[in-house]
Amino acid sequence: MRKYLLWALVPLFMACQNTVQDKGQKLSFAMSGDMLFAGSNTLQGAGEINLQNLAENIDVKVDAIKSVKVSAAKVGLSPDHQKFTESVLLQVLSNNVEMASIGTLNPVPESGTLELSLAEDVDLKPYLEDDGMTWVLDINISEDYMDVMPAKGEVQLIIDYIDSK
């Protein structure tokens, strides 16, 4: 009888753990592509941070992190490149997790930072846990560009974790 009582109390103990949100973390990354022709093209860049790094940044254990969501996303292009960029779509993928859309902007203004409209509620945790995390920026451009086109990206995060303190 005691064993069943203990199992019945497990959900109660789990509910007593505080879920906390950290909204102060950002991921910055660089992407690039070359030999771009008018129309649809892709810039790519490696994810330089993993879930362990993120856990250390907020001073928790990796297994305490429950989700890593995006609250804002922006892309920076040089003013010269931005003038002939028509639209952008930021996505993420990794070796074992399918590609997911983060945000988009269409049309692209001729100047200023590109604040993306978030596409869906994506949890980045599986990508941060996996090898080969890659940021992908699909762009439509109005003219050919043969040199390297760099872009910078930044996503503001909402990290849900269990507070063990």
Over the range 94-124, which residues count as b (16 or more CB within 10 Å of their CB) and which as e?
beebeebbbbbbeebeeeeebebebbeebeb
Would you identify the CATH topology of the domain 19-162? Jelly Rolls (2.60.120)
Full-model pTM: 0.88
- Summarised one tens digit per residue, pLDDT across range 31-76 is 999 999 999 999 999 999 999 999 999 999 999 999 999 999 999 9
Measured in degrees and rounded to the nearest 5, phi and psi for residue 79 equal -55, -40
**Local structure of 54: helix, strand or coil:** helix
Summarize pLDDT for 76-116 with one digit per residue, the tens: 999 999 999 999 999 999 999 999 999 999 999 988 889 99
Q: How far apart are CA 49 and CA 46, in angstroms?
A: 9
